[in-house]
Amino acid sequence: MSRFANRTEAGELLASKLVAYANRPNVLVLALPRGGVPVAYAVAKTLHAPLDIFLVRKLSVPGHEELAMGAIAGGGVRVLNDEVIQYLHIAREVIDAVATRELQETARREETTSNRPTTRTTAGAYHRRDLSAGNGAGKPLFLGAVT
């Protein structure tokens, strides 16, 4: 049983909780593709805020591709799951190799999904109040506001 009829409805319900951020010039809604785009679009539309995508890639454990040892995003963002890394004794060189490969894929996707020049860097985006929406499956539906 699903909590929402679809992702658009989820975004509309989320937006209703965020109306205090409506019409603010310092708000940017970030969508995590693919499932987060319809959610974030509904939020951005309701809040009259700009919408951008935020590409994130899972760092999979080699040989266990469904198991995440972390994630990376543009602008040098890297989050590691130390518990998984320590339990499986994953070497720093392995982590770096996987991260390099995924950063290359992130860069490729940023080039192919954008028909505009980059208007912000990941770090630069955090000078604003950013609202991020994922698809709710494996990623938080609402990552939070970053000031």
Is residue 15 located within the same domain as residue 33? yes
pLDDT reported for residue 1: 56
Asked if residues 33 and 131 have their Cβ atoms less than 8 Å apart, the reply is no
pLDDT reported for residue 134: 52
Establish if 12 belongs to a structural domain: yes
Residues 6+ apart with CB under 8 A from 49: 21, 22, 24, 27, 28, 29, 43, 131
Establish if 17 belongs to a structural domain: yes
Is residue 61 located within the same domain as residue 102? yes
Asked if residues 45 and 144 have their Cβ atoms less than 8 Å apart, the reply is no
State the angle between helix axes of 36-47 and 7-17 in degrees (0 to 180), rounded to the nearest 10: 40
How many domains is the chain partitioned into structurally? 2
Is residue 109 located within the same domain as residue 87? yes
Is residue 13 located within the same domain as residue 29? yes
- Residue matched to tokens 């999904």: 113
Is residue 24 located within the same domain as residue 45? yes
pLDDT reported for residue 133: 52
For the chain, residues with pLDDT lower than 50 are: 116-130, 135-147
pLDDT reported for residue 16: 95
Range of the domain at 39: 7-54+124-146
The pTM of the whole model exceeds 0.75: no
Q: What is the CATH number of the domain that holds 92?
A: 3.30.1310
Establish if 2 belongs to a structural domain: no
Q: What is the CATH number of the domain that holds 18?
A: 3.40.50.2020
